[in-house]
Amino acid sequence: MEFLFIGLLLVLLLAYANGANDVSKAVATLVGSGVTNYRTAILWGTIWTVLGSVIAASWATAMLRTFTTGILKGEVASPVALGLAVITAAILWVLFASWKGLPVSTTHAIAGGLCGSGVALLGLSGVDWFTVLKKAALPLALSPMVAFLLTWALLPLLEATVGRWSGYCLCLQPRTGALIAINPQGNSRILHQGIGTEVVLDTGTACERSQLSGVSVGMDSIHWLSSGAASFARGLNDAPKIVSLILIVQISSGQLPSEFLFVMFVLTALAMGAGSYWGGRRVTEVLAERVTSMNHTEGLAANLTTSALVTATAIVGMPVSTTHVSGSAIIGVGVWKGLKMVRWGTVKEMILAWAVTVPVAAILAAGLALLFRALL
- Least trusted range by pLDDT, from 11-20, 74-83, 310-319, 346-355: 74-83
Q: What are the residue ranges spanned by the domains of the chain? A: 2-164+220-375, 168-216
pLDDT at 297: 84
Helix (H, G, I), strand (E, B) or coil at 112: helix
pLDDT at 206 over 70: no
* 126 within 8 A of 114, measured Cβ to Cβ: no
The reported pLDDT for the residue numbered 205 is 60
Whether the predicted pLDDT of 61 surpasses 70: no
pLDDT at 167 over 80: no
Distance from the first to the final alpha carbon of the chain: 13
More confident residue, 316 or 201: 316
Residue 65 has pLDDT above 80, yes or no: no
Res. 287: pLDDT tops 80: yes
101, 283 Cβ separation under 8 angstroms: yes
DSSP structure class, residue 192: E
pLDDT-derived band at 217, boundaries 50, 70, 90: low
Whether residue 311 has pLDDT greater than 90: no
DSSP 49-63: HHHHHHHGGGT-HHH
Question: What is the pLDDT confidence band of residue 375, given thresholds at 50, 70 and 90?
Answer: confident
Average pLDDT, the chain: 82
166 pLDDT band, cuts 50/70/90, is low
Residue 329: which of 355, 308, 358 has the closest Cα? 308
Phi, psi of 191 (to 5 degrees): -85, -40
Please state, in angstroms and rounded to a whole number, the distance separating the CA atoms of residues 27 and 364: 31
Q: What share of the chain is helix, strand, coil (3-state, %, to 5)?
A: 75, 10, 15
- Name which of 241, 242, 236, 243 is nearest 308 in CA terms: 236
| pLDDT of amino acid 210 | 59
- Distance between CA 64 and CA 69 in Å, rounded? 8
pLDDT(4) > 80: no
Banded model confidence at residue 256, pLDDT cuts 50, 70, 90: low
